[in-house]
Structure 1
Amino acid sequence: MHAVQTLLLLIFPILVIVAALRDATSYTIPNWISLALIAAFPVAALALGLPLSTIGLHLGIGVAALALGMVMYFLRWIGGGDAKLFAAAALWIGWPATVTFLGATGVAGGVLSVGLLGLRSAYVRPYLPIGPPWFARLIEPGQDVPYGVAICAGALTAFPASTLIGRL
């Protein structure tokens, strides 16, 4: 049973990494990633024996994160895929690791934004090697920030403190 629980827990880091890679290379996070995270959560939670009250708390945190993500989307701070990934990740993270998730995501987003601004500057950009088309688009001035990368960093930072990992 321990091996099955471990395999179920691996779904989360694998999918948030896939989301970050897709966002960095195409500026999109496919809906199937967030849907797979949402669908896999109750299976993992029940397999790990989370009490229904804890599962309910996780659901509440996921809904609150979706509301926050929608506000950030409407303010044009993040994309729609980012908002959905943010909520799906918060569902898995739970309380109290959500505090770490929010802080680490914010810090990672700031570092990512400053780093991309530096790479996109007129002083640095001419010296960057020509790479694949996704990299050229990533360092193009005026492009968006693939915030799925920051969400992934925050999620991976907070996941070890989640109630799911604590039950393993």
Structure 2
Amino acid sequence: MIAQFQAILLAVCPALLIVAALKDVTTYTIPNWISLALIVAFFPTALALGLPMNTLGLHVALGVGALVAGMAMFALGWIGGGDAKVFAAAALWLGWPASAPFLLVTALAGGALAMTLLAMRSILLRRYVSAGPAWLSRLAEPGENVPYGLAICIGGLVAFPTSSLVLALSAAPL
């Protein structure tokens, strides 16, 4: 019963990352409540899984570091403010050593997303994409932003199984 409760708590992170990605792709915004919910849900999850205090501190440090990096990327105009916040909240959940695959996969997914959007925005494909839903047509508009929340979600979902939280659940006695 306890393991089921812990698993439910763990499911909050991937679920909210998916919601963030869907919101970003369809509206080019990631509501603040998603990042806030990720941050707030992390602490009871970490406590329920018995995360040691030094590991908890490392998670917090990585989250703060990711927030600083995200703010710098936002200041440079590379990502949006919602992307920076959800990036930091995901890093808080992932901790070490999952942050390395998170960064790598997020960067690769971001590059693939940018290339896909460039193709969609080409003269050859834009007319076909514009026949779809309004949010898809907007993605195909030349000069529009890149919904980087999708890349952050992919990176987070790929790295999540290697996070210390998931490893703590799998190490817990049944």
TM-score band w.r.t. shorter chain: over 0.9
The one-letter code matched in structure 2 to 1:121 is: S
**1:154 alignment partner in structure 2:** 155
State whether structure 2 residue 136 is matched by structure 1 residue 135: yes
The one-letter code matched in structure 2 to 1:157 is: V
- Cα shift readout 1:89-144 (whole Å, capped 9, x = no counterpart): 00000001100000000000000000000010012212336121111111111100
TM-score (norm 1): 0.98
1:59-74 correspondence runs (5 A): 59-74=60-75
The one-letter code matched in structure 1 to 2:42 is: F
Q: Extract unaligned runs of 5+ from structure 1.
A: none
State whether structure 2 residue 81 is matched by structure 1 residue 80: yes
TM-score (norm 2): 0.95
CA contact 2:129–2:140 (8 Å) conserved in 1:
no
Cα distance in 2 between the residues matched to 1:128 and 1:106: 25
1:45-60 correspondence runs (5 A): 45-60=46-61
**1:18 alignment partner in structure 2:** 19
Provide the secondary structure at the position in 2 that maps to 1:130: coil
Identical pairs, percent: 60
Query: Which stretch has the larger CA shift, 134-143 or 13-22?
Result: 134-143
**1:100 alignment partner in structure 2:** 101
The one-letter code matched in structure 1 to 2:83 is: D
**2:110 alignment partner in structure 1:** 109
Cα distance in 1 between the residues matched to 2:127 and 2:10: 43
Provide the secondary structure at the position in 1 that maps to 2:11: helix
Provide the secondary structure at the position in 2 that maps to 1:123: helix
Query: Which stretch has the larger CA shift, 124-133 or 15-24?
Result: 124-133
Cα distance in 1 between the residues matched to 2:125 and 2:8: 43
Cα distance in 1 between the residues matched to 2:142 and 2:32: 27
Cα distance in 2 between the residues matched to 1:101 and 1:74: 22
The one-letter code matched in structure 1 to 2:72 is: V
CA contact 2:66–2:87 (8 Å) conserved in 1:
yes
CA contact 2:10–2:45 (8 Å) conserved in 1:
yes
CA contact 2:129–2:137 (8 Å) conserved in 1:
no
